[in-house]
Amino acid sequence: MRRFLLARLVQAGVVAVVVGTLCFVLMRVLPGDAAMRIAAGRYGPDAMIAGAAEKVRQELGLDQPWPVQFLEWLANLVRFDLGHSLVTGAPVIEELKVQLGASLWLAAAALLLSLLIGPAIGIVSGLRPNGWADRLGLAGSVTLRALPPFMLGLILMLVFAIWLGWLPPAGFGSWRELALPSLTLALGLAAVSSRVTREAIATVAKAPYFAFARHKGLPEAAVVRRHGLRNAAIPVVSYLGLQAIYLVEGVVVVESILAYPGIGHALVHAIVERDIPMVQGTALAMGLIFVAVTAGVDAASAWLDPRLRRA
Amino acid sequence: MRFARFLVVAAVAICLSTVTNSAEERLLKVVGPWEIGGIDPAQSGYIFSRLQVAETLVSADPTGKLIPALAEQWSASEDGLAWRFTIRADATFHDGTPVTAEAAAASLRRAQAGVGVLTQVPISEIAAEGRDVVVRLEKPFAALPAYLVNFGNIILAPASYDASGKVTKIIGSGPYKVKSLTPPLKLELENSGNWWGGAPEISEVSYLAVGQGETRALMAESGEADLVFSMLPVSVERLKRNPKLDVKIATIPRTRILKVNAASPFFDDVEERRAISYAIDRAGIAKAILRNPDLDATQLFPPALAGWHVSDLPPLERNLDAARRLLAEAGWEPGSDGILGQDGERFSVTLLTYSNWPELPPIATALQAQLREVGIDVEVSVGNSSEIPSRHRDGTLEMALISRLYSIVPDPTGTLLQDYGPEGSEWGAMGWSSDELLVLVDKLVATSDSQERAPLQRRAIELLQEELPSIPITWSELAIVANQRIAGVQVDPLEVNYGLASIRWAD
Amino acid sequence: MNAPTRIHDLSIADLSVHSRAGPIVRDVSLSLQPGRPLTLLGESGSGKSLVAQAVMGTLPPELTASGAIRLDGADLIASTPDERRKRWGRAISLLPQEPWLALDPTMRIGPQVAEVHRFVRRQAAQRSETLAHENLRDVGLDHASALYPFQMSGGMCQRAAIAIAHAGGSGLLIVDEPTKGLDADLRDSVVARLIEEVDAGRLLLTITHDIGVARALGGTVGIMLEGRLVDHGPAEQVLMAPSHPYSQALLSADPRSWVRSAPVPSGDVMLAGRGLAKAFGDHTLFEDVDVEVRAGEIVSIVGPSGCGKTTLGNILLGLVEPDAGTVERRKDISLLRFQKLYQDPPAAFPPHQAIRKGLRDLVKLHRRRWDEVETLLARFQLQNALLDRLPGQISGGELQRFAILRALLLDPVFLFADEATSRLDPVSQKEVVDVLLEVARDTGLGVLLVTHDRALAEKISTRTVMLARRDT
Amino acid sequence: MSIETAFPSADRPRRLSARTIGAALLLALAAFAILGPWLIEADPARQDLGASLAPIGGAYLLGADHYGRSLLARLAHGARLSFGMAFLTMMTAALPGIFFGLVAAWRGGWIERMFELLANIVLALPGLMLVLLLLAFAPGNFGPLYLGLALTLWVEFYRVTRATTATILKQPHIEAAKLLGFGPGYILRNHVVPVIAPLIATLAAFAMATAIIAISTLSAISVGLQPPTPELGSMIVELLPYYAEAPVHVLLPAVLIFLLVLALQLVAQRETR
């Protein structure tokens, strides 16, 4: 157990440094005058940028040689200080708290929703392969996967916000604003997870231990509950982990269409405005989330499948 | 199946809470495109000014006439080198402290040291004397009060700044005070309770920044927002048909112009610039893209801008033959591929623009297609707005489509001063300058007497029309959608202040 | 242990099983009483398992059974799926083949037994656990209730399955290939266990292709061929004096009844291992083993599974590096002439490549002539038609002979036969072994035979090396 | 895959038909994308503001967009663009992915560990960020867009190839083939490729689908390709505000994307299960 955690920590460290460095280098070699862009980001296109840019340059010490700036960043990183946003001037940590927080809420809600939809459908289809439920599920999943997320988002917006008028088309704060974006994401996820679950269940249903459970005389419900779900959950969980990773970045589209203040939204702006600390911070956060998620998945799988606990 | 049960429960829960939630508490919901970056006045002061959280010394009414705000009156010394602004006695900041001349002077000094418009005023000193803020100048500058209207010069309480002089929170003096701020998208306001103008009609306001124009329209239609700012032209059509909504439109002193590099071989000759102007189908653009034929910019300023629109000026219009003729005279011959050329050089230019204003890229593509017809090959590059200033400075800019605001101070003089100075400016002329215009602008800056100004203004416009240092394309309008739940909404073309305080519930 | 619900008689009358294509089991009549276990012998596809499935009521939907199966008067064929299902665990229980696959890999053994008390016999959770523990103790697994299947040996899993049958308290026990995948010693203990079941008053129906099991169980024996019951009677009679020719063939195919015919070495040492040792992690397989194989002889390595037989063979072939010791090969002989036969014939051929393609490429690669293949085919009685099938479509026996044929194309001097016949039914095993012996004799091929079947080793090997399992 | 062995009779015909439908659809779309642009002489960038939102039928076969550009022409070029880009991206991702996968599985050891690390880093880097960063180099250009996508997509190919190949190489028939004197080349051709080929085909189809969606999505949030490039995603977003006046116009590009991805999905069907 301790070795597991240690390994993860090391991995996290490596990811942090690699990702951060990579962003730094990329942002550095980007064309265009950073100070100008930051100024534009700050004061908007109506302002007289040129003058502002000079002030920005001095204020942020952008004229320092880049090794100095990089070492500074590293040093701060060790102190868990991600620096200040060049544009808003707020500490990156604070910005992340808001934006990453929002995205995580969104992601969590989406994941939960997709868990309510996907596996449920998957189990129903998997227990009767090629039954009508299965075919319906397949059709649905293929259709959903063929829809670009932004189109799905727009469709849902038209249906729920305009025609039915149930939910606000945009914004954030209460669950009502959360509903549309998370549903958009959830449907996309469920489209795949339902099939994964279906495969898993169908495979388990043909396993000798599933048959033996029946031959023991257990009632069907008990067979499915005690010997079906857990075994089927193993592949599903490891797959969900993968999804969760794509989720965190998949939110960007939904965010920009549905005016949701998430990490993707922030990332796009940060890159356009050359807000290096924000980009590094965001990437860092995402990288660490990746590590955390994989760790979580490993733990979950180990809990589900004792065979993985060997050694 | 357990999951099935979950599903049902969830569904029921959602429906129920939809019902319960549909009964809204009385909160004025405002939606606009502007995100709240930092809270420094120079950055997002306009939001706090428009939402009446913070105030400036001087304000302007929708016609552009200067009106008292925190300063109940002001006057200039004979030589025009010293201005006195008297702070009204009954003004208090949201933290309860009175608005003193010293506090106001501090805010202004800070603004002057920053990057805002005040940096362009020849100020030698800003001091507080009793209830007066005294601004001393190096040379007469009649437009000073107008400059103070700009959002960069809002007056904040001393407690708003930290030791280093950085703004940490917005403590203004307006009818609304900040309840909560979630950058970059959300701002919640409540009745400040101590505004000199009396209590606002509606005491709770929320502002949400929504970047996508289409989404803003949907929010208006779905009734999720009471007041929505700057609608896309296309949605306006649709919204007008909606019985539950009022659409209010005002032409604003913002013109979309084609900034050309008059130093480059392509545009060095005024005939060439005229040719370009002839090649452009403004009417088509206004009709098809802006959905309002009246926005066709026949000259730099729209009729609404009193004293700055010369009605009998020959309009800029499309005339392909004239365009071709002028280009031919300028020595451009069509090449084999239909693209013009002059001693081996193809008439092929890059048109920079940016998407901060969603209509710019479409207009750019329209221009691209139209210029192609007279044999000019244009490559559109949509980038960051900062590229235009930087390319202006290193002189590599060829053409840029920009949206220029002429009411940064209510009086366009300020902008003209910026844009058509001796060596041009990043949002104005490039490689072009006119001594006559410089003289005109200097005079305009020095006097505030409209009788004196009128001929000067007229001449300035004519000059710009003849010389076309930058080519007007279309004027702009501000479309506001108000739900009929609310009444008393009026549009401020200068976007100084949205008058939220006077909005009330219709019922 | 809770006494089994008494069942006095299972009688099968004129049982036939039909598929769309036609009957695949014809008029089987059998009967089974307490104290006299019934064992069905026959090669795979002989229909013996179908009979068991008919009794259990687990025939695939596309198959239909006719005739009568009476369990104390109740007709099993006539009964509805629900009625059948009600009997599972309560009246009839099934010992699955390869129990380590039939136990839930993610659940401890204790609960897997307890749930039978809980959900079948409706006991309280607490009580179920105690009962389950008793069941486990009865099969000598009292320490194992907290183990997961993957932590238990094949034998333990086998016994756990029996404990589950006990828990249900059924009176009829159907056992499907109880010794599949178990080595000799374990086999005997399983058989002993089954006899206890009979003594406890259960009816026992066993399906196997292992004559040893049938002999050990005694009682009644039936021999099936192509869906027919060709021989049926008391064990001693059927197994001593079989009436039907197939029965005779089957019995004579049992290594025990072979005449010893070990080839004599026809040349000098082809391959020798000296002082070989190998360990995986901290588990030592063997130490200081000496083997040498001379031309034309068959050397057998015998030992229980997991003792490192295969590894030893691989070391000699140079596929695995020994931890200690040396392997001496004749320098003047190309490595290509040291070949190997695999335990699972289908796995030794690329699954999606027709046999012909594989052989053609081999012939081309080593510039042989195709007619050599033709002659070998004739010699091993392999029809040309088989050449165009995929490995999956050919019986194990034939496939193993193709493997030998393939090896012979490189005229090998040494062949490592790794459990080469353990997955084959007796008859095809005999055929393959005969081929091996013949080849060894004619070509002076030295064979290293790895097997867990002592009888087989005794009968055909010049010398035998014993490896014991060392449990560390 | 297990399912198939279980229900051959029930499964085969349906699955096959789904795939054939997909294949047919894909062919039709490919034809439209390849032939369309030079059968339709109309210039997709040619504006005619007079004919803004011209109705379907009429002068323009599929109507005209808000600038009066022929939708038919734009759809054809858009299809070609999405298709071409997707294919290019897929190839650029697949070739190195497969190659690395094979090498890693074959050589194992530190080479494998190195590739694993590389793959993990790429996974940890938000793919979106990679694309955005690269796009920032040359906004609105094809190069960085497709490079960024390829950079994020190759991992999938690598992992599948490596995993499958590794399991194949463990099987006895490989050892047998080696003992029989067959070289790596032969083993690769006859033992490995036949097994991984269908998997790769599936991945390829999915990768292309992903690429198409990603491209259109990026232009939809206006960080992708630039006007007047007839890109399906940006076409939808450009036309969206007019959904009240000309709903069909908005639907056309949407439907085209949908069909493209759907076709690829269907083609990929069989091996996915």
C276, two tokens:
């070989």
A242 half-sphere exposure, CB direction, 13 A CA radius: 11
Distance between CA atoms of residues D130 and D142, nearest Å = 15
- What pLDDT, on a 0 to 100 scale, did the predictor assign at position B298? 92
pLDDT for the residue numbered B13: 54
The predicted pLDDT at position D6 comes to: 31
B329, B268: one domain = yes
**pLDDT for B99 beyond 90:** yes
Residue-wise pLDDT for C156-170, tens only, equals: 888 888 888 888 888
| D211/D87 Cα distance (integer angstroms) | 8
B280: left (phi over 0), alpha (psi -120 to 50) or beta: beta
Residues B308 and B420 in one domain: yes
Residues B276 and B369 in one domain: yes
* Per-residue model confidence (pLDDT) at position B11: 55
Asked if the structure places residue B33 within a domain, the reply is yes
How far apart, in whole angstroms, are the C-alpha atoms of residue C225 and residue D25?
52
Q: How many other C-beta atoms lie within 10 A of the C-beta of residue D148?
A: 23
Q: What is the dihedral of CA C455, C459, C462, C467, to 10 degrees?
A: 0
pLDDT of residue C469: 65
Select the residue of B284, B380, B383 nearest D227 (Cβ to Cβ): B380
Closest to A248 (Cα-Cα) out of A101, A107, A99: A107
**Backbone angles phi and psi of A273, in degrees to 5:** -90, 10
pLDDT at B278 over 90: yes
Last residue of a domain, one of B111, B130, B160: B160
Q: Which pLDDT value is given to residue B482?
A: 93
Q: Say if B165 falls within a structural domain.
A: no
Name the least confident of A246-250, B185-189, D214-218. Answer: A246-250
The pLDDT assigned to B21 comes to 45
| Greater model confidence, B190 or A179 | B190
Task: Flag whether C touches B (3+ CB pairs, 8 A cutoff).
Answer: no
Q: What is the pLDDT of residues B34-79, one digit of tens each?
A: 888 778 888 888 889 999 999 999 998 888 888 999 999 999 998 8
Res. B289: pLDDT tops 70: yes
Split into its structural domains, chain B has a count of: 3
Residue B197 sits in the same domain as residue B336: no
D240 interfaces chain B, CB cutoff of 8 Å: yes
pLDDT for A33 beyond 80 = no
CB atoms within 10 A of CB D221: 22
- In this prediction, residue A245 has a pLDDT band, given cuts at 50, 70 and 90, of low
What is residue B154's predicted lDDT score, i.e. its pLDDT?
92
Cα A111–A112–A117 angle (5° rounding)?
A: 95
- Domain boundary at B103, B125, B160, which? B160
Contact C416, C316 (CB under 8 A): yes
Same domain, B223 and B323: no
Q: Give the domain range for residue B83.
A: 58-160
| Average pLDDT rounded to a whole number, residues A27-40 | 76
In the predicted structure, residue C140 carries a pLDDT above the cut 50: yes
- Confidence at residue B16, expressed as pLDDT on a 0 to 100 scale: 47
* Residue of C315, C362, C367 to mutate, interface with D, max D Cβ within 10 Å: C362
Chain D CB contacts of A154 below 8 Å:
240
Does B403 score more than 60 pLDDT?
A: yes
Q: Testing the interface with A: which of B31, B185, B396 to mutate, by most A Cβ within 10 A? A: B185
Identify the pLDDT of residue B71. Answer: 93
Distance from CA of A1 to the nearest CA of B (A): 32
pLDDT of residue C19: 85
Examine residue B183 and state whether it is found in any structural domain, yes or no.
yes
Per-residue tokens: A174: 């209460």
**Domain stops at, among B141, B160, B179:** B160
CA distance D79 to D30: 8
Query: End-to-end distance of chain B based on CA atoms, in angstroms?
Result: 50
Share of chain C above pLDDT 90, in %: 3
Same domain, B220 and B137: no
Cα B481 from chain centre: 18
Q: Is the complex ipTM higher than 0.90? A: no
The pLDDT value given to residue B328? 92
pLDDT digits (tens, 9 = 90+) for A134-156: 888 888 888 888 888 888 888 88
Q: What is the pLDDT of residues A266-291, one digit of tens each?
A: 777 787 777 878 888 888 887 788 78
Q: Does a structural domain hold residue B343?
A: yes
Helix intervals (H) in chain D: 2-6, 8-39, 71-107, 109-124, 127-137, 142-170, 172-179, 184-187, 193-220, 232-239, 247-272
Q: Which residues contact B410 (CB under 8 A, 6 or more apart)?
A: B60, B64, B66, B146, B149, B494, B496
- Residue B8: pLDDT band with limits 50, 70, 90: low
Asked if D265 contacts A145 with a C-beta cutoff of 8 angstroms, the reply is: yes
C362 contacts on D by Cβ (under 8 Å): 180, 182
Chain D residues with CB under 8 Å of B371 CB are none
Mean pLDDT value across residues C359-370: 90
A303 contacts: CB under 8 Å, gap ≥ 6: none
Range in A10-19, B10-19, B459-468, D262-271 the model is least confident about: B10-19
What per-residue confidence (pLDDT) applies to C265?
81
pLDDT of residue D74: 87
What are the distances in angstroms from CA B49 to CA B156, B192, B364? Answer: 11, 14, 32
Query: Is B485 a member of any domain?
Result: yes
Interface check D139 vs B, CB under 8 A: yes
What's the pTM value of the predicted model, to 2 decimals?
0.77
If you average pLDDT over residues B402-417, what whole number do you get? 83
* B371-381 residue pLDDT tens: 988 999 998 88
**C-alpha distance from B387 to closest chain A C-alpha (Å):** 7
Mean pLDDT of D83-108: 89
- Cβ atoms of C65 and C59 within 8 Å: the answer is yes
Out of D173, D179, D195, name the one closest to residue C349 (CB): D173
**pLDDT at residue A194, as a whole number:** 87
Q: Say if B344 falls within a structural domain.
A: yes
Q: Say whether both B337 and B454 belong to one domain.
A: yes
Among the partner-chain residues D46, D139, D222, the one whose CB lies closest to the CB of B369 is D46
Domains in chain C and their CATH numbers? 10-252 (3.40.50.300), 257-466 (3.40.50.300)
- C270 vs C44 pLDDT, higher one: C270
Please indicate, yes or no, if residue B332 is contained in any of the structural domains.
yes
Q: ω into residue B158 within 30 of 0, thus cis?
A: no
Strand order across the beta sheet in which C228-234 lies: C92-95, C172-176, C203-208, C38-41, C220-225, C228-234
Whether residues B305 and B424 fall in one domain = yes
Per-residue confidence band for D11, with pLDDT thresholds at 50, 70 and 90? very low
pLDDT of residue C472: 44
> What is the reported pLDDT for B23?
40
Average pLDDT over residues B107-122: 87
Please tell me whether residues B307 and B383 are part of one structural domain: yes
CA distances C449 to B389, D44, D154, Å, are 85, 76, 47
State the Cα–Cα distance between residues C418 and B262, nearest whole angstrom. 89
Residue B20 has pLDDT above 50, yes or no: no
CA distance C97 to A14: 49
Cα angle D261-A261-B164, degrees, rounded to a multiple of 5: 145
Residue D219's pLDDT band (cuts 50, 70, 90): confident
- Touching subunits of D (3+ CB pairs, under 8 Å) are A, B, C
* Backbone φ/ψ region at D37: left (φ over 0), alpha (ψ -120 to 50), beta: alpha
Query: Do both B347 and B423 map to the same domain?
Result: yes
| Within a domain: B121 | yes
What's the CATH code of the domain at B131? 3.90.76.10
pLDDT at B30 over 90: yes
Looking at the fold, whether B326 and B440 belong to one and the same domain comes out as yes
The answer, yes or no, to whether residue B6 has pLDDT greater than 70, is no
Q: What is the pLDDT of residue D95?
A: 92
User: In this predicted structure, what is the pLDDT of residue A173?
Assistant: 67
The three-class DSSP label of residue B241 is coil
Sorted by sequence, the CB contacts under 8 Å of residue D36 that are 6+ apart come out as D75, D76, D77, D79, D80
Judgement on whether residues B211 and B115 belong to the same structural domain of the protein: no
Phi-psi region of B116 (alpha: psi -120 to 50; beta: other; left: phi over 0): beta
- Residue C145 reports pLDDT greater than 50: yes
How do residues C275-325 score in pLDDT, each as one tens digit?
888 888 777 888 888 888 888 889 998 887 777 888 888 898 888 888 888
Nearest residue to B363 via CA among C403, C175, D178, D228:
D228
Q: Determine the 3-state secondary structure of D217 from DSSP.
A: helix
pLDDT tens digits, one per residue of C400-457: 889 988 888 888 889 998 888 877 878 888 888 888 888 888 888 889 988 888 888 8
CATH code at B426? 3.10.105.10
**Which chains would you list as touching B if contact means 3+ CB atom pairs under 8 Å?**
A, D
Separation in Å, CA of B352 to nearest CA in chain A: 14
Q: Residue D272: what pLDDT?
A: 39
Taking only residues 157 to 176 of chain D, the set having a beta carbon closer than 8 angstroms to any beta carbon of chain C reads: 171-173, 175-176
For the ranges A285-294, C65-74, D120-129, the lowest mean pLDDT is seen at: D120-129
Residue C263: other Cβ atoms inside 10 A? 22
Q: Is A212 on the interface with C (CB under 8 A)?
A: yes
Average pLDDT, stretch A286-301?
82
pLDDT confidence tier of residue D227, bands split at 50, 70 and 90: low
Note whether B382 contacts D67, CB cutoff 8 Å.
no
